[in-house]
A = this chain, B = another copy of it.
């Protein structure tokens, strides 16, 4: 059945574009009310028009207490797809609430790649229950997929592939497809993968082209121009990059010997791209793997390491300041102004850093342009440094009535902003060369550099010039 009512459910006021695809507050309230009064029929009726992805979002947004009650009441209708869509942190909890029968029913309908995605994050006991519920063929497929490393193309691919020998004609392929039993074909497929006798993929033919070609046309005459073969061990982030870069819709996955073993489709690549971005953003902010549904204690643990690193950084900066205690005692204005120099450097450094980290992730920062990029960032730091040096020089004179103080803060500002451009670009490049994820570690290093240089340049110059 077509549920085009769904959008209406989610955003009743089509005019209000800001609310598009957002869970309707009223709908959520009605659902929670049905849960509260234990009205299973009403609950089923309210949940019916919702997509599994929206039900998953709903489960993530309500409290743990409401979640348990809702799932117990909704038990029988519980669909495997909801489990796939759930955030990891909630998934284990939900799997534990479901009765073994409901869980078995739910996973039996799922594609093998979705089952893999579901159980790879579960505890062993839960994973065993789910594996046990599968039919033999599906279980073997899932267990084989799990032999590939996490985050590899082998885990991401689906094993159901529609393939044909390279010498076939359009008519032969169509007849073969019509003769294949429904359950042996993937749910969704967009290409026929043409293979040579050793099962090496040689090209893709889109279904659209297949349908409008004459029956006698050799398949090799209507192969797609763009064709990318993906090794099973390739990192899923690289796979997502290739889909985005080459506008792929599906791509064959091969084993060590180049034999076709599966296919990855764009919707899976899109999910990976989304996750990788999310990870980059969170890592840049030092948040790790966190999600909104994590408990306080987990979130605290995730954020602690980054804050600890920041504490060390801050103490290092403080030690620089403590070298100039004498100067500060004589001119207290130094203590007032010094955070400005450090803060401007830190911000300029974060700007350069973010651009560099993204450019590395999108393969736009390479050996060919690394020096040009570093030079450019330093120049940008210099120009912005000069502009803010003039402003701060004036502020120094007006606020503290000391041209010399103005001159010192202006010079320190220029120095720190050029260093910020250099460190913001150079540090992520170096970390990447040494195999460390630049999104994860660069921030702490860059801030340390701009804090230390900022305080040292300002206080050092002040001590030399003003005392």
Binding site for B on A (CB under 8 A): 1-4, 6-7, 14, 17-18, 20-23, 25, 28, 51, 53-54, 57, 60-63, 174, 177-178, 180, 182, 185-186, 188-190, 202-203, 206-208, 210-212, 223-229, 231, 233-235, 238, 241-247, 249, 266-267, 269-271, 273-274, 277-278, 280-282, 284-287, 290, 292, 296-297, 299-300, 303-304, 306-308, 310-311, 313-315, 317-318, 321-322, 325, 328-329, 332-340, 342-344, 347-348, 350-351, 353-355, 358-359, 363-369, 372-373, 376, 379-380, 383-384, 387-388, 391-392, 395, 435, 451, 455
Contact between A376 and B2 (Cβ–Cβ < 8 Å)? no
Contact between A315 and B395 (Cβ–Cβ < 8 Å)? yes
Q: How far is the CA of A46 from the CA of B104 in the complex (A)?
A: 55
Q: How far is the CA of A63 from the CA of B207 in the complex (A)?
A: 42
Residues of B near A203 (CB, < 8 A) are: 2, 4
Residues of B near A21 (CB, < 8 A) are: 238, 241-242, 245, 363
Contacts known (A21-B363, A231-B14); A307 close to B185, Cβ less than 8 A: no
**Interchain Cβ contacts under 8 Å between A and B, 8 examples:** A17-B235, A57-B363, A61-B364, A281-B281, A303-B351, A307-B384, A315-B395, A335-B338
Contact between B350 and A202 (Cβ–Cβ < 8 Å)? no
Contact between B351 and A285 (Cβ–Cβ < 8 Å)? yes
Closest B-chain residue to A54, C-beta based? B245
Closest B-chain residue to A202, C-beta based? B2
- Nearest 7 Cβ contacts at the A-B interface: A285-B354, A335-B335, A207-B207, A277-B277, A314-B340, A20-B238, A314-B343
Residues of B near A343 (CB, < 8 A) are: 310, 313-314, 317, 451
Contact between A7 and B304 (Cβ–Cβ < 8 Å)? no
Contact between B355 and A17 (Cβ–Cβ < 8 Å)? no
Most buried by B among A23, A311, A391, A455: A311
Kindly list 13 other residue pairs between chains A and B, CB separation below 8 angstroms, not including A21-B238, A285-B355, A300-B380: A2-B227, A4-B228, A7-B228, A61-B368, A178-B211, A178-B212, A185-B208, A207-B211, A270-B273, A273-B274, A278-B358, A304-B387, A325-B335
Contacts known (A23-B363, A286-B351); A249 close to B212, Cβ less than 8 A: no
The A interface is mostly helix, strand or loop, or mixed, namely helix
Contact between A287 and B354 (Cβ–Cβ < 8 Å)? yes
Q: How far is the CA of A285 from the CA of B351 in the complex (A)?
A: 6
Number of copies: 2
Whole-angstrom distance from the CB of A81 to the nearest CB of chain B?
9
Q: How far is the CA of A18 from the CA of B344 in the complex (A)?
A: 35
Q: How far is the CA of A395 from the CA of B341 in the complex (A)?
A: 25
Q: How far is the CA of A45 from the CA of B177 in the complex (A)?
A: 40
Contacts known (A284-B281, A292-B364, A355-B290); A307 close to B245, Cβ less than 8 A: no
Q: How far is the CA of A462 from the CA of B206 in the complex (A)?
A: 72
Residues of B near A233 (CB, < 8 A) are: 17
Whole-angstrom distance from the CB of A443 to the nearest CB of chain B?
9
Contact between A206 and B225 (Cβ–Cβ < 8 Å)? no
Residues of B near A376 (CB, < 8 A) are: 296, 299
Q: How far is the CA of A178 from the CA of B208 in the complex (A)?
A: 10
Residues of B near A182 (CB, < 8 A) are: 212
Contact between B62 and A368 (Cβ–Cβ < 8 Å)? yes
Q: How far is the CA of A14 from the CA of B311 in the complex (A)?
A: 42
Contact between A285 and B329 (Cβ–Cβ < 8 Å)? no
Residues of B near A206 (CB, < 8 A) are: 188
Contact between A299 and B380 (Cβ–Cβ < 8 Å)? yes
Q: How far is the CA of A274 from the CA of B361 in the complex (A)?
A: 12
Q: How far is the CA of A210 from the CA of B455 in the complex (A)?
A: 70
Closest B-chain residue to A334, C-beta based? B335
Contacts known (A20-B235, A53-B245, A354-B287); A61 close to B366, Cβ less than 8 A: yes
Contact between A270 and B281 (Cβ–Cβ < 8 Å)? no
Q: How far is the CA of A63 from the CA of B274 in the complex (A)?
A: 32
Q: How far is the CA of A303 from the CA of B224 in the complex (A)?
A: 43
Whole-angstrom distance from the CB of A76 to the nearest CB of chain B?
19
Residues of B near A380 (CB, < 8 A) are: 296, 299-300, 303
Contact between B310 and A344 (Cβ–Cβ < 8 Å)? yes
Q: How far is the CA of A235 from the CA of B11 in the complex (A)?
A: 14
Contact between B306 and A322 (Cβ–Cβ < 8 Å)? no
Residues of B near A368 (CB, < 8 A) are: 23, 25, 28, 61-62
Residues of B near A241 (CB, < 8 A) are: 20-21
